[in-house]
């Protein structure tokens, strides 16, 4: 868990990374899933702005000057973000980025699932043939051995399929924030952070005046 006193600096550093990444892209097609994550994770991690207020109050206990310096850097990072052209980022297809990222994991699962299904069908076919054979015959015993091998192969394939499906589902959960992301969410959050930063600075100056 993040130390409260370091939260303001952490938000500032992360917002600076957002700003740096945003200016590095010119058109929506240049944006990668990793780029989208920079925006999405910032919003996800800092959307509860009450934590920023709590962090400012905690930092103020160590001295108003330290608080003002820390929040001033955050305000500057917000100003840079506000100055950037966000129109291109509103045009990014975040759902497509998520789907492209998930595609390899879905393909692995589908491939394993198809292989598992074929092994199951093979096992069922051999099992059905055994039911119609003389269990004392040599052919029955040969097929019985083969059927047992097919059963084990299917069970192993089924376990692998379940494992790959689990990985795919984990990735889906991880990507959910990208799927539902809208640039407007981040713009509203940063504007709110900027308002809080400005209010904290004004309050800190007032406190500094009282203390002199």
Within this chain, do residues 163 and 192 fall inside the same structural domain, yes or no?
no
Q: Which domain holds residue 107?
A: 95-177
Mean pLDDT value of segment 189-199 = 96
Within this chain, do residues 74 and 123 fall inside the same structural domain, yes or no?
no
pLDDT tens-digit readout, 202-211: 988 887 665 4
Within this chain, do residues 197 and 172 fall inside the same structural domain, yes or no?
no
Mean model confidence pLDDT for the chain: 92
Within this chain, do residues 193 and 173 fall inside the same structural domain, yes or no?
no
Within this chain, do residues 195 and 136 fall inside the same structural domain, yes or no?
no
Within this chain, do residues 152 and 204 fall inside the same structural domain, yes or no?
no
Residue 125: both structure tokens together: 């076919």
Within this chain, do residues 186 and 152 fall inside the same structural domain, yes or no?
no
Distance in angstroms (rounded) separating the CA atoms of residues 68 and 196:
12
* CA angle in degrees (0–180, nearest 5) for 53-80-19: 90
What confidence category does residue 50 fall into, taking pLDDT thresholds of 50, 70 and 90?
A: very high
pLDDT tens-digit readout, 107-139: 999 999 999 999 999 999 999 999 999 888 999
Would you state the pLDDT for residue 209? 66
Residues near 209 by beta carbon (within 8 Å), at least 6 away in sequence? none
Within this chain, do residues 168 and 122 fall inside the same structural domain, yes or no?
yes
The domain tally of the chain equals 2
């Amino acid at each position: 868990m993040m130390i409260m006193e370091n939260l303001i600096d952490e938000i500032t550093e992360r917002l600076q990374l957002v700003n740096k990444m945003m200016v590095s892209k010119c058109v929506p097609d240049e944006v990668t899933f990793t780029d989208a994550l920079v925006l999405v994770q910032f919003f996800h991690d800092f959307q509860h702005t009450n934590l920023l207020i709590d962090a400012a109050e905690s930092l103020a206990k160590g001295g108003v000057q330290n608080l003002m310096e820390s929040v001033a850097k955050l305000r500057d990072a917000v100003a840079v973000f506000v100055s950037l052209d966000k129109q291109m980022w509103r045009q990014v297809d975040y759902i497509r980025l998520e789907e492209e990222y998930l595609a390899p994991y879905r393909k692995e699962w589908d491939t394993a699932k198809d292989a598992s299904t074929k092994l199951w069908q093979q096992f069922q076919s051999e099992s059905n043939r055994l039911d119609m054979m003389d269990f004392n015959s040599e052919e029955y015993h040969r097929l019985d051995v083969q059927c047992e091998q097919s059963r084990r192969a299917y069970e192993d394939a089924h376990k692998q399929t379940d494992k790959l499906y689990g990985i795919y589902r984990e990735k889906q959960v991880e990507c959910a924030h990208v799927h539902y992301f809208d640039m407007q969410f981040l713009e509203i959050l940063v504007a709110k952070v900027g308002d809080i930063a400005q209010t904290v600075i004004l309050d800190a100056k007032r406190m500094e005046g009282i203390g002199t």
